[in-house]
Amino acid sequence: MDMTNSEYVYFTVEPYRDVEFFGRLQASFNDSSDEVARKAFRYLFQITGTCTKSVSVGMRRLQDQIKRRSAVEYGVKYRHNEDPSESVLASYFSVKTLGIVVDEALKAGADVYNGAAMARRFFNHTWYLNERTINIDPMGNRIMDLCMRAFDNDSDTFRNVMYYDPTLTTLSELERIKWYTENGTQPPNEPRCGFKGDNPACAEPGPGIALVAGTAVPAVVLLLVVSLCGFWRFRREVELKDNWWLGNKADLMSPDSASNRRYSISRHTSPSYSLSTMGKDPKHFRTYRGNPVWIFKVQTLQTFFLNRSKRTILREMKLISHVNLVHLQGLLIEKETLTFMYEFCQKGSLAGLLERMTLDWEFRAGLIHDLLEGVVVIHQSLIRRHGYLSPFTCLIDQRFTLKLAEFGLYDLIKDVTTPEMSNKLSENSTITYANTEQWIAPELQAKFKTNGMKNVRNLAAIAGPEADVYAAGGLIDMVMEENLALDDAAAPPRYSLSGIRTIVEACQHYEPWRRPMADEVKRRFVLRTGARSGGFLESLVRRMEMYARRMEFAVRERTEALKAERKVCEKLLEEMLPKSIVERLRSGYAVEPEHFSRVTIFFSVIVGFVEFVSVTSPMEVIDFLNSIFSSFDAALSTYDVYKVEVLYSLF
d(CA 25, CA 14): 10
SS3 (DSSP) at 430: coil
Mean per-residue pLDDT over the chain, rounded: 78
Can you list the pairs that 610-614 forms with residues at least 24 positions away whose Cβ atoms lie under 8 Å? none
- pLDDT tens column, 441-455: 999 988 888 877 778
- The DSSP code sequence of 510-521 is SSGGGSPPHHHH
Percent of the chain with pLDDT over 70: 80
Confidence (pTM): 0.49
Mean predicted confidence (pLDDT) in 300-329: 84
Span 366-405, pLDDT tens digits:
899 999 999 999 999 989 999 999 999 999 988 888 999 9
Q: What is the dihedral of CA 508, 514, 515, 521, to 10 degrees?
A: -130
**Least reliable range by pLDDT among 240-249, 374-383, 615-624:** 240-249
What does the alpha-carbon distance between residue 99 and residue 105 come to, in Å, rounded to a whole number? 10
From the list 433, 435, 430, the residue with the least C-alpha distance to 447 is: 433
Beta strand 44-48 with 170-173 is: unpaired
**Residue 261: per-residue pLDDT:** 43
What confidence tier does 107 reach under pLDDT thresholds 50, 70, 90?
A: confident
Residue 596 region by backbone torsions, left for phi larger than 0, else alpha for psi between -120 and 50, else beta:
beta
Query: In the prediction, which pLDDT does 468 show?
Result: 95
- pLDDT of residue 92 exceeding 90: no
Per residue in 487-530, pLDDT (tens digit) is 555 566 567 788 888 999 999 999 999 999 999 999 999 888 87
